[in-house]
Amino acid sequence: NAGVTQTPKFQVLKTGQSMTLQCAQDMNHEYMSWYRQDPGMGLRLIHYSVGAGITDQGEVPNGYNVSRSTTEDFPLRLLSAAPSQTSVYFCATARDRVYNEQFFGPGTRLTVL
């Protein structure tokens, strides 16, 4: 039972490159979300999904795309990376949108040069 897994753990990109951060969960949770964590700013919600085929924007969605084709996976896409997207990215899951406890993955540290 792996819980929430994220790949890669570390990534360095050049400005303008694209990439996908992977998130997978084996807890059969409906609700999944992506956050970015920056020093002194806590975690900020990028996008979330309440189930396969349903996604919505959070506080800081610009520059990021998501899709949810299965319950287990919720990838985050950076279409054209910018230095402002240098951050640590966390994926989180919850049983459903009403159940409040979120379970976080180990994070992906992204640096954009």
Partner 1 sequence: QQQVKQSPQSLIVQKGGISIINCAYENTAFDYFPWYQQFPGKGPALLIAIRPDVSEKKEGRFTISFNKSAKQFSLHIMDSQPGDSATYFCAATELINYGQNFVFGPGTRLSVLP
Site residues (vs partner 1, CB under 8 A) = 4, 31, 33, 40-45, 48-50, 54, 56, 58-59, 90, 92, 94, 97-98, 100-107
CB of 80 to partner 1, least distance (A): 26
Q: Which amino acid is at 9?
A: K
- Burial degree of 19 (CB within 10 A; 0-12, 13-18, 19+): middle
CB of 101 to partner 1, least distance (A): 5
In Å, how far are 27, 52, 64 from 21, measured between CA atoms? 19, 18, 10
User: Which CB atom, from 26 or from 56, has the smaller least distance to partner 1?
Assistant: 56
User: Which CB atom, from 12 or from 18, has the smaller least distance to partner 1?
Assistant: 12
CB of 1 to partner 1, least distance (A): 16
Q: Which amino acid is at 18?
A: S
User: Which CB atom, from 42 or from 70, has the smaller least distance to partner 1?
Assistant: 42
> Residue 72 CB: number of other CB atoms within 10 A?
16
